Amino acid sequence: MELRRNPKPTQEDERPILDVERVKRLELTALVIDDNRSIVRLVAALLENHGFEVLTAFDGVEGLEKATTEHPDLIVLDVVMPKLDGYEVACRLQDDPDTDTIPILMLTVKGRVDDPELDEGQFEQRIQERMKGFDAGALDFVSKPIKAKELLRRVDGILWWDLPLDLTST
């Protein structure tokens, strides 16, 4: 039997990860909060290339201020940051009726569970970190180093998760 190394793409593979036209039509704004400027530039560029207007912040305090004044449609939030960590930022956003409906996608190295080198104790600790994020208000996580397709698929998932099926084309 011959194995093919590079199978031809299927229609599923050719499907866009994120509906750029829909994002543009709805004029969606994302706020990226991370103390690592390289990560902010990377995530901002990915989202801008997929139709978002992007705001940025480089620590938890600045991010919280921008979230409460700008009311973005999505927040991409790092866990480990100076001044306020991502868990505290998420908790404060969830406690504020003006920001409690903004979907939050957390970025983390602490919650990475796909590392084959993890022992059982480390794996359990990473799961607990993710649970802490969910309890704080995150809807999903992306592990660092960031993979573009994964980030975009998770953004797509949390943006449209609560829409009825017949409204997803609007």
- How distant, in Å, are the alpha carbons of 56, 138, 166 from that of 76? 10, 9, 27
pLDDT band at 10 (very low <50, low <70, confident <90, very high): low
Residue 142 lies in a domain: yes
Where in the sequence is the domain holding 53, given as residue range(s)? 19-155
Residue 25 lies in a domain: yes
Residue 170 lies in a domain: no
Q: Is the pLDDT of residue 168 over 80?
A: no
What CATH number did the domain enclosing 108 receive?
Answer: 3.40.50.2300
Residue 50 lies in a domain: yes
19-56 pLDDT, tens per residue? Answer: 899 999 999 999 999 999 999 999 999 999 999 999 99
| Burial annotation 9-39 (CB, 10 A radius, 16+ → b, else e) | eeeeeeeebbbeebbeeeebbbbbbbbeeeb
What is the tally of structural domains in the chain?
1
51-82 pLDDT, tens per residue? Answer: 999 999 999 999 999 999 999 999 999 999 98
Residue 163 lies in a domain: no
pLDDT band at 4 (very low <50, low <70, confident <90, very high): very low
pTM: 0.83
Residue 32 lies in a domain: yes
Residue 131 lies in a domain: yes
Residue 164 lies in a domain: no
Higher per-residue pLDDT: 144 or 109: 144
105-116 pLDDT, tens per residue? Answer: 999 876 566 667
